[in-house]
Amino acid sequence: MSEAEPIQFSPRRSSAGVNGGTTFTHSAISSTVFFTRAEFREILNLYGRKVAAGEWRDYAIDFGREKAVFSVFRHASDVPLYRIEKNPRLARRQGAYSVIAATGLILKRGHELVRVLAVLEKNLRLAAV
């Protein structure tokens, strides 16, 4: 797999043996927006650091026709703390990537995923007492 290939998590179903089953065609899969392997690696690196720090506990991934969303949770039953979205329709305007808070506030938008994810990194500041 190359860096530009999408990571696909959706299983392929066939109608054989399944009552009312759905058959996914190549055109249905190609119209879905996915995170590439490199994008997914950057997101999971951030997620791993936040889990190790005890800030995040769970995540969910949603792939749709218009955007791909990586949602981060503090607890599995809560609403997502943050949503990391990839919307290719905005690629030429504000940028395809955005980080959205639980309140719906867009924290950062941009063309580069690494810069957009930087808004979620904690900055340590030294204060003189």
Distance CA 20, CA 65 (A): 23
Tokens for 96, please give them: 């395809």
Q: What angle do CA 24, 2, 109 make, to 5 degrees?
A: 80
Q: Map out the domains of the chain as residue ranges.
A: 26-120
Each residue's pLDDT tens digit, 4-14: 665 555 444 44
- Under a CB-based contact definition with an 8 Å cutoff, are residues 116 and 98 in contact? yes
Give this prediction's pTM: 0.70
pLDDT by residue (tens digit) across 29-74?
568 888 889 999 999 999 999 999 888 899 999 998 989 999 999 8
Phi-psi group of 63: left, alpha or beta (phi > 0 → left; psi -120 to 50 → alpha; rest → beta)? beta
